[in-house]
């Protein structure tokens, strides 16, 4: 019984470390020279919002998404670029249906979404909604109006939520403890 619990904890630690490593790489790509754990977590939250947008709806998902979901990243990215170029030549903006998210991005999204409840403070529902809303690209004004708080409160909730997640990650993973 104890061995099973240790195996589960070991797998979870590996998932955390793999996700944080990807988050650090995303932070470097975003222009941060020496990213911190907070930068990695924020980039992972930003990345987690993208697969949610790319998941197909239930009615038509089985028709086309399954066929393209297993395409290599190069093929999917090239297809998106080609469709954008063709639309630009025709003189108008093209509204493309996004290609399905990669399996690795969906796995990271699942991992990061499990971290979100750790971001809650005195008002956990509001805190998590604000943090993930910002990561999904919602405007601060919309969040202020929805939750009846000020601009500074929105940013404070984000900062405290990220700090809570980072604190939990440092407790859960040796690799995260070594990061700033």
28's tokens = 């470097």
% residues pLDDT > 70 (the chain): 70
Average pLDDT over residues 18-38: 90
State residue 63's pLDDT score.
46
Of 166 and 75, which is predicted with more confidence?
166
pLDDT at 3 over 60: no
Q: 74: buried, middle or exposed (CB in 10 Å: 19+, 13-18, 0-12)?
A: exposed
pLDDT at 82 over 70: no
C-alpha span between 118 and 115 (Å, rounded) = 6
pLDDT at 77 over 60: no
**Core vs surface per residue 133-160: b (16+ CB within 10 A) or e:** bbbeebebeebbeebebeeeebeebbeb
pLDDT at 76 over 60: no
pLDDT at 138 over 70: yes
Kindly report whether the global pTM for this prediction surpasses the value 0.85: no
* pLDDT band at residue 51 using 50, 70 and 90 as cut-offs: confident
44's tokens = 């992972």
- Mean pLDDT score of the chain, rounded to an integer? 78
**Which of 32-46, 102-116, 164-178 tops mean pLDDT?**
32-46
Average pLDDT over residues 95-123: 82
Of 64 and 120, which is predicted with more confidence?
120
């Amino acid at each position: 019984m104890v061995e099973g619990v240790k195996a589960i904890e070991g797998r979870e630690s590996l998932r955390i470390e793999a996700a944080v490593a990807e988050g650090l790489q995303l932070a470097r790509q975003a222009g941060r020279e020496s990213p911190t754990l907070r930068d990695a977590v924020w980039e992972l939250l930003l990345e987690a919002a993208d697969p949610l947008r790319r998941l197909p709806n239930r009615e038509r998902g089985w028709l086309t998404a399954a066929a393209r979901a297993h395409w290599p990243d190069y093929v999917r990215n090239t297809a998106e670029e080609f469709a954008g170029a063709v639309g630009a030549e025709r003189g108008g903006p093209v509204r493309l249906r996004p290609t399905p998210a990669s399996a690795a991005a969906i796995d990271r999204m699942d991992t990061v979404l499990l971290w979100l409840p750790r971001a809650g403070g005195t008002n956990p529902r509001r805190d998590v909604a604000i943090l993930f809303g910002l990561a999904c690209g919602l405007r601060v004004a919309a969040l202020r109006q929805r939750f009846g708080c000020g601009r500074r409160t929105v940013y404070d909730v984000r900062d405290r939520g990220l700090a809570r997640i980072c604190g939990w990650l440092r407790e859960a993973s040796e690799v995260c403890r070594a990061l700033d």
